[in-house]
Amino acid sequence: MKVKMCGITTPETALACLQAGADMLGLVHYPPSPRHVDATQIREILDAIEQHEQTVLVVVDQLPDEIDYRITYIQSYGKTRHDVPMNPIHVVKDYESFTHLLESPPGKSEELYCLEMSEGRLPGGNGAAWDWSLARPFCERYPTFIAGGITPDNVAEVIQQAKPYGVDVSSGIESSPGVKDIDKVKRLMDAVCQITTCPTCR
């Protein structure tokens, strides 16, 4: 079970999330978002965490002017070009795409998906919960992160219902938009550890 903590905005937060047990960090490059980080901030965060490999660049419509190739995954929305040497995390946000993928032959086994079927005005999960049990057949077919409305109080339910490869959480571990609450981060990791086998708990 992987835990991706998304919307990291400072080096201090990045280090605190990793120390708490996060497996992956998401950096959002999208100016309308309260979690937006520019190329300089991305570089500062990556400098702080050194060689940590599990970082995800989340973009909408366009990439940053400067690409830091220490990032290993790209999670894109809109019309972002894909000719960058990063592993993709494919986003699935609508039932048409969800159904099509379930009925199609599986793709490359190493490709990851992010399933966030909630509605909202911005790309991403928008902090809205949905019927996570619907995701289980998808998670059985593809390595999938579940996003949308996940908090320390319901993450165990998400895992039990969907059996995902991982969970992708952002607003559910914040004190205000773009500001991570480290107590919530730790509570979420404690809840994950109670029902899964993870290195943090050993």
Q: Give, rounded to a whole angstrom, the gap between the first and last alpha carbons of the chain.
A: 14
How many C-beta neighbours within 10 Å does residue 76 have? 22
Assigned token pair, 107 = 């793709």
Domain extents in the chain: 2-195
What is the C-alpha to C-alpha distance for residues 63 and 84, in angstroms, rounded to an integer? 10
- For residue 202, the model assigns a pLDDT of 39
Superfamily of domain 2-195: Aldolase class I (3.20.20.70)
As a whole number, mean pLDDT of residues 54-61 equals: 92
- For residue 82, the model assigns a pLDDT of 61
What's at 135, amino acid-wise? A
Give which of 87, 8, 20 is closest to 48, Cα–Cα.
Answer: 8
As a whole number, mean pLDDT of residues 102-116 equals: 83
DSSP class of 99? H
What is the C-alpha to C-alpha distance for residues 186 and 200, in angstroms, rounded to an integer? 11
pLDDT exceeds cutoff 90 at 195:
no
Element (H or E) spanning 190, and its range?
helix 182-195
- 198 pLDDT tier (thresholds 50, 70, 90): low
How far apart, in Å, are the Cα atoms of 89 and each of 11, 23, 99, 185?
Answer: 23, 15, 18, 23
Indicate the average pLDDT of the chain: 88
CA triple 5-18-183, angle to 5 deg? 70
- Who's near 202: CB < 8 A, 6+ residues apart? none
Q: What pTM does this model have?
A: 0.89
